[in-house]
Structure 1
Amino acid sequence: MHTVYILHSQKLNRFYTGYTTNLDVRMEFHTNSETRKYTYNADDWTIFFTVNCESKSQALAIEKHIKAMKSKAYIENLKKYSEIMEKLFEKYKSSEY
């Protein structure tokens, strides 16, 4: 499964957006003090939101879109308003990538 995930750190009041095919393994990476990189600044990362995609290309396009928005409000609204994700799925249809 291709998953776009958004982590949140209450300590830093920041979000981290990433892509993976195995969320459990990826979370272990983010919480292991020896392997984490960007997420090394905090040890309280939790899964805020996940998006299951049809293909790797679709997932990477959605991840790129979310990162390009550079907005905490946008990320919070992804979780709050399902129609935003519906529009993203329409914009980044798997067959187009």
Structure 2
Amino acid sequence: MKYYVYVLRSDKFERNYTGFTTNLANRLKEHNSGKTISTRPYKPWKILYSECFSTKKEALDREKYLKSGIGREFIKKNMAL
């Protein structure tokens, strides 16, 4: 099974959202359909960045890093925000 860490971008509200999933396309649909409470007010979302991992632990560790202060700076610098 593949595990994905992703960063979504809402250009309309200038917000990012970082998450983890096993089905990236389906998860994006869930965010944009309003099924995720925390992202519902900021639709529409697009995938800004994603990484694939072979283990859940690797993916969760990377998600935790990207949600940290250093990780948010990494996103800001590397995604030209």
TM-score of the superposition, structure 1-length normalised?
Answer: 0.72
Higher strand share: 2
2:33 paired residue number: 32
Higher helix share: 1
2:49 paired residue number: 49
1:58 paired residue number: 58
Q: Is the 8 Å Cα contact of residues 65 and 71 (structure 2) preserved in structure 1?
A: no
TM-score of the superposition, structure 2-length normalised?
Answer: 0.84
Larger Rg over CA atoms: 1
Please tell me the root mean square deviation across aligned C-alpha atoms, in Å.
1.9
Larger relative contact order (C-alpha < 8 A, sep ≥ 6)? 2
Q: Moved runs in structure 1, 4+ residues, more than 6 A? A: none
Identity %: 32
Q: Is the 8 Å Cα contact of residues 15 and 72 (structure 1) preserved in structure 2?
A: no
1:77 paired residue number: 77
